[in-house]
Amino acid sequence: MIKRIDATDKAIELIKILKEKHGDLMFYQAGGCCEGTQPQCFEKGGYYQRMGDVCIGTIEDTEFWVDKDLFEYWKHAHFTLTVIDAFGVGGFSLETPLKKTFQIEYRIFTEEEEKDLEPVSFIK
């Protein structure tokens, strides 16, 4: 099965640091005004998803949730979680005090990949 999300080594390293400090984590990527499309990292349960929001996979046992409308737009794309040295938009994400910002890089799935994608789960 083809994963819908992967992460760079730098992103995985930062997730491990944040898990040591905060425990279990979750990611949420919205398409809203304040956070733009920057993925936000929260303590697990620290953000309440909306009906229809989509979990596209996990990174280091951390669920990655996407706004239902954003998923509809990007459902044919692979996400790669990266991290840069910068202060992110809004500053709500757990990496902000470390002067880091998670980002997503996208690429479109090939026709072959589309036939073998990992399933997603939805908030019902």
pTM (two decimals):
0.92
Contact 13, 63 (CB under 8 A): no
- Name the token pair of 108: 């479109």
Is residue 94, in this structure, part of any structural domain at all? yes
Instruction: Indicate which CATH number applies to the domain containing 11.
Output: 2.60.300
| 124 residues of the chain, pLDDT tens digit each | 999 999 999 999 999 999 999 999 999 998 766 555 689 999 999 988 889 999 999 999 999 999 999 999 999 999 999 999 988 666 789 999 999 999 999 999 999 999 999 999 998 8
Is residue 123, in this structure, part of any structural domain at all? no
Is residue 121, in this structure, part of any structural domain at all? no
Contact 30, 90 (CB under 8 A): no
Is residue 21, in this structure, part of any structural domain at all? yes
Contact 25, 42 (CB under 8 A): yes
Question: What single DSSP character describes residue 124?
Answer: -
Is residue 14, in this structure, part of any structural domain at all? yes
The amino acid present at 48, given as its one-letter code, is Y
What total of structural domains would you count in the chain? Answer: 1
Write out the residue range of the structural domain in which residue 104 sits: 5-116
